[in-house]
Amino acid sequence: AQITRVLGIESSCDETGLALYDIQKGLLGEVLFSQIALHAPYGGVVPELASRDHVRRLPLLLEELMAQSGGQRPDAVAVTAGPGLIGALLVGVNFARALAYAWDIPVIPVHHLEGHLLAPLLNGVAPFPAVALLVSGGHTMLIEVRGLGDYVLLGETLDDAAGEAFDKAAKMLGLGYPGGPALAALAEGGDPEAFRLPRPLLDRPGMDFSFSGLKTAFRLVSLKVPEEDSVQRSHLAASFQQAVVDTLFRKCQRALQATGLKRLIVAGGVGANRALRDALQSLTADGVELCIADLAHCTDNAAMIALAGALHPEMAQPASAEFPVRARWSL
């Protein structure tokens, strides 16, 4: 049977999401529950708590989505099968398979990062061919997107991911989890040149990233800034953010140059960062077309999973078939 309407399920980390996407009509409905409050007291995601909360939330969210989208049944269920927290992934995958079994429709396993890559398509932008900057809590990659499913890795982080660097820097400043948005908020109005921080690997050719040196430099400087000096703290946050943004920006330029492409996709949670979005905007002066998902679809969500599933009908398989669920999975 033709697959036009897809139910997407996302549960790879600390967000439980469900969405209904129609190939012709676009997004029909979307619900998302963030577990931030649940993990906040621990300063990071606790995998076991995440799994249990996905179990609790999924049936409630499904009812909510069905009410929102007029009870329309999907033709297939797309679900994030990796990479991510294995327990959390298994909850989503088993929920997806149970639904598919009950409704007698197929399941489509989706790669979480491909979901992020395709998210700009939710706004109707056709993003191929392009260079993609994928910046999330777990990944920092530059990818040449030749077409749907045709991805060539140009560079990636040798240590921390960009989002992880934001989160760790935020933690050093005593900001809550997740740190990225909190650090960005503190940086607002701060002087990005107040503190001199390194731009790792910019002096060397290539498109790989490294953020651990920046993290160490940041730690040393932050120890000298008193907790009550809110002005200096704001300068410090702005300087850190600028160091990350500069690095990401320069590597994007390199990747565009190396491939000769004129289109840049920005995906993943750090793509929600205002300073990064503003910096990348300047590339448009050189004729580069920017494809960035709207803020809500940069961070984890099920709409991008439903969309990725709808674009991969060839991956559809019977609800009873086994498929691998992978904590680690290269694109």
Q: Site residues (CB under 6 A) for ligand KG4?
A: 13, 136-138, 163-164, 166-167, 178-181, 184, 268-270, 272-273, 299-300
Q: How far is the CB of 105 from ligand KG4 (least distance, A)?
A: 27
Q: How far is the CB of 253 from ligand KG4 (least distance, A)?
A: 20
Beta strands 15-22 and 26-34 are antiparallel
Check the annotation: does 84 bind a ligand.
no
At 49 the three-state DSSP class reads helix
Part of the chain binding Zn ion (CB under 5 A), chosen from 45-53, 278-286, 300-308, 323-331 = 300-308
Task: State which amino acid sits at residue 149.
Answer: G
Determine if 167 is a binding residue for Zn ion (CB under 5 A).
Answer: no
User: Residue by residue, what is the 3-state secondary structure of 73-136?
Assistant: CCCEEEEEEECCCHHHHHHHHHHHHHHHHHHCCCEEEEEHHHHHHHHHHHHCCCCCCEEEEEEC
**Greatest distance between any 2 Cα atoms in the chain:** 64
Check the annotation: does 269 bind a ligand.
no
Check the annotation: does 91 bind a ligand.
no
Check the annotation: does 39 bind a ligand.
no
Count of positions on this chain that bind Zn ion (CB under 5 A):
2
At 324 the three-state DSSP class reads coil
Of 8, 108, 300, 305, which lies in the binding site for Zn ion, with binding defined by CB under 5 A? 300
Check the annotation: does 180 bind a ligand.
yes
Check the annotation: does 174 bind a ligand.
no
Nearer to Zn ion, 5 or 111 (CB): 111
Asked whether the beta carbons of 99 and 75 are under 8 A apart, the reply is no
Binding mask 95-134 for Zn ion (x = CB under 5 A): ----------------------------------------
Nearer to Zn ion, 136 or 210 (CB): 136
Please work out, in degrees rounded to the nearest 5, the angle formed at the alpha carbon of residue 329 by the alpha carbons of 291 and 257. 35
The entry of Zn ion, ligand KG4, none near residue 181 (CB within 5 to 8 angstroms by kind) is ligand KG4
What does the alpha-carbon distance between residue 16 and residue 318 come to, in Å, rounded to a whole number?
24
Burial label, 330 (beta-carbon count in 10 A; 0-12, 13-18, 19+): exposed
Question: Which residues form the interface with Zn ion (CB under 5 A)?
Answer: 136, 300
Binding-site annotation, residues for Fe cation: 112, 116, 300
Binding-site annotation, residues for substrate: 134-138, 167, 180, 273
